[in-house]
Amino acid sequence: MKKNAIIRFLTKPYVYAIIFSIVLIACTTYSLLDVFVIPHYISAATDTSDNSDTSSTTSSSASTETSNTGNVTTTSTSYEDDNIKVTITTIEKYDTTIYVADVEVSSPEYLQTALANNAYGTNVTATTSDTAESVNAILAINGDYYGANKTGYVIKNGTVYRSSVRDDYENGDLVIYKDGSFGIIYENEISAQELVDSGVVQLFAFGPSLVEDSEIQVSTTTEVDQSMTSNPRTAIGIIDECHYILVVSDGRTSESEGLSLYELATIMQDYGCTTAYNLDGGGAYK
């Protein structure tokens, strides 16, 4: 494992973010993974979900409550307390540098999302590190790209911010339920409110789906405009109950070529993901 490369990765100053929501694990102010998160404000983030199952506040779209940490152990590539365990490794594959965060949490409440500057809107800017710090996150990555689109569901921490069907609904959305489980849905088949009523607390409208039922969902010949292009990538997957994998790859450089969607899906499958989803990475990762 390239320790120096990881340290540089964790401290890169991503001044601009192309995405407006991030995946994060809320716990303490120790920032483990500093990847990046990019305005016209529409509303402040709120949460109308049932707080008996998730931890959140009305002033932030991500949990600001700290874990009952007990003994905390940290290194440049790991974090562990009584409720959260994160281990980051670096692999070289497909001529690309790939960072893999293995995340285990005691409860789904530690897997949250946040809006840049705690507000829903378009062209809202914030760095991932600043957003993560504002909600006491220990790890944060890109989410979706909702602010660049006028349609598509936006559901964050149980709140529906937008309920119009996305134009490219065939890509599918990743939904996360209160129990921490993952699912892939299609917006033309179910309404945003029905999703929330069924227990969905988070939704990511990017895609496509990479792995479902442990099987790869993209190929080297379909979706040529996406899956045959080597790019920086970001993905999230679930291995088991409260056990997740977050993957970020370098790309478009002489040292790191980048991944196709099929290559990314293969990596997620190799790590044991039963469901995995492509998040915003190609346009934001620089």
- State residue 215's pLDDT score: 99
Reported confidence tier of residue 252, pLDDT bands at 50, 70, 90: confident
- State residue 28's pLDDT score: 35
State mean pLDDT over 226-247: 88
Reported confidence tier of residue 176, pLDDT bands at 50, 70, 90: very high
Q: Report the C-alpha gap between 117 and 38 in whole angstroms.
A: 10
- State residue 228's pLDDT score: 61
- State residue 159's pLDDT score: 94
State mean pLDDT over 259-286: 85
Is the confidence at residue 148, as pLDDT, over 90?
A: no
**Using one digit for the tens of pLDDT, what is the confidence trace for 177-219?**
999 999 999 999 999 999 999 999 999 999 999 999 999 999 9
**Using one digit for the tens of pLDDT, what is the confidence trace for 23-50?**
444 433 334 433 323 234 455 555 444 4
- State residue 51's pLDDT score: 35
Is the confidence at residue 19, as pLDDT, over 50?
A: no
Whole-prediction pTM value?
0.78
**Using one digit for the tens of pLDDT, what is the confidence trace for 50-59?**
433 322 222 2
Is the confidence at residue 227, as pLDDT, over 50?
A: yes
Q: Long-range contacts for 224-227 (Cβ within 8 Å, ≥24 apart)? A: 226/261, 227/260, 227/261, 227/262
